[in-house]
Structure 1
Amino acid sequence: MKKFIPLSKPSITCLEIEYVNQAMSSGWVSSLGSYINEFEASFAKYCGTKYALTTSSGTTAIHLALATYGITAGDEVIVPDLTFIATANAVAYTGAKVVTVDIKEDTLCIDTVKIEKAITPNTKAIIPVHLYGHPANTIEINRLAKKYNLLVLEDAAEAHGAEIERQKTGSLGDCGIFSFYGNKIITCGEGGMITTNDEAFYHRAKHLRDQAMSPLKRYWHNELGFNYRMTNLQAALGLAQLQRIDELIEDRIKIFELYRSYLADMPGIKLNFTADYARNVYWLVCFEVEGYTEAERNNLMKALELQGIETRPYFYPVSEMPMYQQNSIPTPVTHKVYQRGINLPSYFGLTFEEIEYICTCLRSQVNNGF
């Protein structure tokens, strides 16, 4: 058995350990503490927004944002068909209808032309997903939102630090949503964040996040709220990660460039594409073999696993899930792409030799048909 190369692993240094130990020593280990305030302020500054609000996960961040905007049963929310299921599930939690639309084959992000065709009088919001580190085209999405009076909630769970025309994700819509799960560019182990420039939205989201407790009368709750808070321990880890984010992103860019240089002459394959308007942060390296079926894709992954290389498939289309199959809008690009795509190891610290080994194995397996 070859040395195991995982798909992802966090980068934990003495700084992260120091901050978490300080949080533990302070006794503030739950949802109050200085690290929460500092993490929120620092993250808002990094994204270029006025406010940031920590949450317990990226999923709860999306749900909280939708609830704050008053999205409810009878409303429709547009999401891309290629995304992690949390994007759609958070919409369903509100009782609103999930409307899935197709993606662009190059960026793997939501197709703005298909968005406009899916808008109805019941449409209230669009959730563009910045997939695998590439930002969706919020320039066009915001134009549509203005035309039809819709909200734009960026799902930036996979794209910390990505940019459109030098403006960071999280500041490109009405609000941004981030995840800090263990495999993300920066992590809190688990956790999320909402970013916004809307003061009224920020204060209401914070109120609902904290069980909608009255600020004037302790343990008095005049409406349904949530316990979607992050702990001070998680925020300590997140703050240390945020202070290293430029280093973490630059390493991912270098990793992608190495993959591209090794695989550039390989016919019939596609790696991550970057649009002219975007800065891609390459959360995960994408690898597609033109014409592959899902079975062929799976066989390639199994062959790489035998070589000690962990991979994972692209997400299944949301519209294939039993609870969302009532969606009648065709998504041919999503259905073509998902079955042929895999993600390759992309984490901070992946070595030159490991990337060379992965590419050698890829080339051999694809060329020889396993």
Structure 2
Amino acid sequence: MIPVNTPVFNGNEEKYLVDCIRSGWISSEGSYVTRFEREFASYIGMDHGVAVSNGSAALDIALEAIGLNEGDEVIMPTFTIISPAFSVLRTGAKIVLVDMDNDTWNMALDEVESKITPKTKAIIAVHIYGLTSNLKRLREICDKKGIILIEDAAEAHGQEVFGKKVGSYGDISTFSFYPNKTITTGEGGIVLTRDVKLAEKARELRNLSFKPSKRRFVHYSFGWNYRMTNLQAAIGCAQLENIEEHIRKKKLIGKLYTEQLKGIPGVQLPLEKTNFSVNNYWVFGIVLDDEEKAIYVQEELGKHGIGTRPFFWSMHEQPVFNELGLFLGEHYPIAERLSRCGFYLPSGLGLNETEIQSVCQAFRNLINQ
């Protein structure tokens, strides 16, 4: 079996975990939590980091921290994992969807500008599969209109746009450290910001809204238990020490796939670069020219012991939202094509060149059929 993802632990993960166990600091109170927050925020180029239990928790906290309320509008891409949509709807705010760019598979900025109204409070930029939208332009749009920019950079660890780290463009940014991410803590996430008040609010929200200046167990607002453990953070510190090597390996995987699969009729490969960024190949996605063909190829690859994952299903076609009367009659053709015809091949850091060759040979054979 060649799984769709295999994480790699070849640094100080074991050493730091043993240190946690021997010291007895295994909860969220340990020193690795603050170390990971500080080091990851510094790596991205932000001032404050608030480590949390997962990427979805980070989104919940980010949206609550900025004061999103009922009646506010939030612009976001329709082609994304469902987490940011869930987080927005829990606040009572309204989601305004936009379609995607055909080449980068990220949200189309011309459409973003056309959807801005006086009620637009925030834009969530979800960075997809190794590339992003033009964040410099998006930052300028938000500054001009007085809109809060939230980056969901769960898939974009170490990615750069115009030489600046993704996650540093937003007023507030979130990351995930799920096992398929470029660095992992098993589960885990983080909220990043330059605003000290937003950081303080995020720290309160992740910890049941305890206030350091008030008596313990006396609460004045709602919050969550979204804390990251010292064990998770210890793994994160070790992973972060090797993040540049992980990114180099991801780019090598993308290069090898591209060399072996380019030029196949009816197959769209991910862009290697744009005029503002180079693909980090968090995963190697492909889009076929027919939905039935895409389903068939995924099923047949599975029979050959090769793992795949379908692309995200668009928000405007999610049954859970349609049943609530949301997005009915909305149509986003590029997102619909990506959702139906796209999937990604094994892309984990444990993948080797021989396995890539096997995947490509099986894929070419199926397409030729």
Q: What's the TM-score, normalizing by structure 1?
A: 0.95
How far residue 297 of structure 1 moved from its aligned partner, in angstroms, is 1.1
Q: Distance in 1 between matches of 2:52 and 2:350?
A: 28
SS in 2 for 1:114: helix
SS in 2 for 1:125: strand
1:319 aligns with 2:320: no
Decide which moves more: 89-98 or 184-193: 89-98
How far residue 329 of structure 1 moved from its aligned partner, in angstroms, is 4.2
1:169 aligns with 2:150: no
- 8 Å contact 1:101–1:329 — kept in the other structure? no
SS in 1 for 2:97: strand
Identity percentage of aligned residues: 39
SS in 2 for 1:46: helix
Decide which moves more: 116-125 or 321-330: 321-330
Decide which moves more: 144-153 or 181-190: 144-153
Q: How large is the RMSD of aligned CA atoms in angstroms?
A: 1.2
Pick aligned residue for 1:52 from 25, 28, 49: 49
1:218 aligns with 2:219: no
1:280 aligns with 2:255: no
Q: Which residue of 2 aligns with 1:363?
A: 364
**Aligned counterparts, 1:233-244, within 5 A:** 233-244=231-242
Q: Which residue of 2 aligns with 1:24?
A: 21
How far residue 267 of structure 1 moved from its aligned partner, in angstroms, is 2.2
Q: Which residue of 1 aligns with 2:245?
A: 247
Could you list the runs of 5+ residues in structure 1 that have no partner in the other structure? none
How far residue 245 of structure 1 moved from its aligned partner, in angstroms, is 0.4
How far residue 279 of structure 1 moved from its aligned partner, in angstroms, is 2.9
Decide which moves more: 254-263 or 86-95: 86-95
- 8 Å contact 1:98–1:324 — kept in the other structure? no
Q: Distance in 1 between matches of 2:345 and 2:172?
A: 30
How far residue 45 of structure 1 moved from its aligned partner, in angstroms, is 1.0
How far residue 349 of structure 1 moved from its aligned partner, in angstroms, is 2.9
Q: Distance in 2 between matches of 1:267 and 1:218?
A: 64
Could you list the runs of 5+ residues in structure 2 that have no partner in the other structure? none
Per-residue CA deviation, residues 36-58 of structure 1 (Å, 9 max, x unaligned), is 01101110110011111101110
Letter in 2 for 1:181: Y
Q: Distance in 2 between matches of 1:207 and 1:311?
A: 39
Q: Distance in 1 between matches of 2:48 and 2:297?
A: 44
SS in 2 for 1:188: coil
How far residue 218 of structure 1 moved from its aligned partner, in angstroms, is 1.6
SS in 1 for 2:126: coil
- 8 Å contact 1:251–1:349 — kept in the other structure? no
How far residue 265 of structure 1 moved from its aligned partner, in angstroms, is 3.0
Letter in 2 for 1:262: Q
Per-residue CA deviation, residues 192-211 of structure 1 (Å, 9 max, x unaligned), is 01111111111121122221
**Aligned counterparts, 1:111-260, within 5 A:** 111-216=108-213, 217-260=215-258
Q: What's the TM-score, normalizing by structure 2?
A: 0.96
- 8 Å contact 2:56–2:83 — kept in the other structure? yes
